[in-house]
Amino acid sequence: MASSSSHAIITTYDVFVSFRGEDTRNNFTAFLFESLFENSIHAFKDDTHLQKGESIGIAPELLQAIQESRLFLVVFSKNYASSTWCLRELAHICNCTIEASPSRVLPIFYDVDPS
């Protein structure tokens, strides 16, 4: 008899995109979200109604969306690593993928110098 896991993973989103809004919101990620939508890929979009700021923790809606996503696209841009908010989000993504396959996280390097 095969054993079954008591931990069912609920997935609401196909993709969660982590990005620095000021760097990519009105260009690269706007086109990315449009392309995902056109291809019937359900992606969580960090809407403007969510609280923003470096001094507060990650909004509960974001934490839940991360936990309920299958794949993570992390858009590393010029100011991504200087954002405490983005780094907290990335840390939560990493924590959620420790038990799952790390291949669920795909990095995208946008307008950054590789040196």
Is residue 89 among the annotated active site residues? yes
DSSP letter string, the chain: -----S-PPP--EEEEEE--HHHHTTTHHHHHHHHHHHTT--EE---TTS---SSS---HHHHHHHHTEEEEEEEE-TTTTT-HHHHHHHHHHHHHHSSS-GGGEEEEE-S----
Catalytic entry in 22, 61, 89, 99 = 89
List residues with catalytic annotation: 89
